[in-house]
Amino acid sequence: MKWLRTGAIVFLLLVAAASLSADFVAPAHYAYQFRSETDAPPSYRHPLGTDDLGRDRLSRVLFGTRVSLLLAPAAAWLSSLLALLVGGISGFLGGRLEKIVIAATDLFLSLPWLFLLLTVRAMLPLNVSPMVSVVITFALLGCLGWAGAARVICADARTMRQADFVLLARASGSSGLRLLWRHVLPNLRPIVLAQFWISIPVFILTEANLGMLGLGVTEPLPSWGSLLRELQSYPAISGQPWLFIPLLLFVIVVGSFHLVLRTEELPA
């Protein structure tokens, strides 16, 4: 299985490198419209063809991958940080605070994820610029995705509270904050890292779902959601199998994340 994991990491690195260098690698800007070449099949000039507005599909895939691959980890980082703060501190302090936090995470977790996202997304302005929509989408994912991770981190912090090394540090005169900062939080790092990796594919999938429902990143900025949205034009798909390439790439990228985290979460 090790070779599979290595393959997944190499593939992710390649995709990340290609998307980060999209400004140089992409045949055109993602919003540039070749009006005389709308709905064009793959050619030397446009390896994945063009969409109904004449935009180069490969460029859109590269730029869209960049948006998702940069911002999903950013959202995962935000949610892991929130989970660490909420779960780590409450688990370490225990008592009523822990009970309140567990009740709050219960409430969060009992809400179906997409319903919660739709509700909060609808409360924010919908007609916004593409850049703002990107920020709103991924910030929402980061701010609302902490509950599951907080529950796990809280349980781990609770166990650590009674661990021998913490008792020893306490006996040596370590104060509450120092104990938390120097002894508990560093030991929670593996579990936070595992939660971070777990969140990335979940957020990529959720952004794709939101994008396909028209509540994600807005046009003309591409993202996985808006790229997969092209599959909605049913008549176009039947004669254009290359429209499935973004989906194929998406599945491989998300699958690679799953493969990486399968072994990444073991040490936690």
Of 82 and 204, the one with the shorter C-beta distance to other proteins is 204
Dihedral angle over CA of 188, 191, 194, 199, nearest 10: -90
Question: From the CB of 10, what's the least distance to other proteins, in Å?
Answer: 18
Of 60 and 121, the one with the shorter C-beta distance to other proteins is 121
Question: From the CB of 157, what's the least distance to other proteins, in Å?
Answer: 22
Of 72 and 254, the one with the shorter C-beta distance to other proteins is 254
Task: Please report, as ranges, the residues that interact with other proteins according to CB under 8 A.
Answer: 103, 106-107, 109-116, 118-126, 201, 205, 208-209, 212-215, 228, 231-232, 234, 237, 247, 250-252, 254-255, 258
Question: From the CB of 27, what's the least distance to other proteins, in Å?
Answer: 26
Question: From the CB of 113, what's the least distance to other proteins, in Å?
Answer: 5
State both tokens at 5.
């994991």
Question: From the CB of 210, what's the least distance to other proteins, in Å?
Answer: 9
Of 80 and 206, the one with the shorter C-beta distance to other proteins is 206
Question: From the CB of 48, what's the least distance to other proteins, in Å?
Answer: 18
Of 88 and 201, the one with the shorter C-beta distance to other proteins is 201
Question: From the CB of 43, what's the least distance to other proteins, in Å?
Answer: 25
State both tokens at 113.
């994820």
**At 228, phi and psi to the nearest 5?**
-75, -20
Of 100 and 163, the one with the shorter C-beta distance to other proteins is 100
Of 13 and 128, the one with the shorter C-beta distance to other proteins is 128
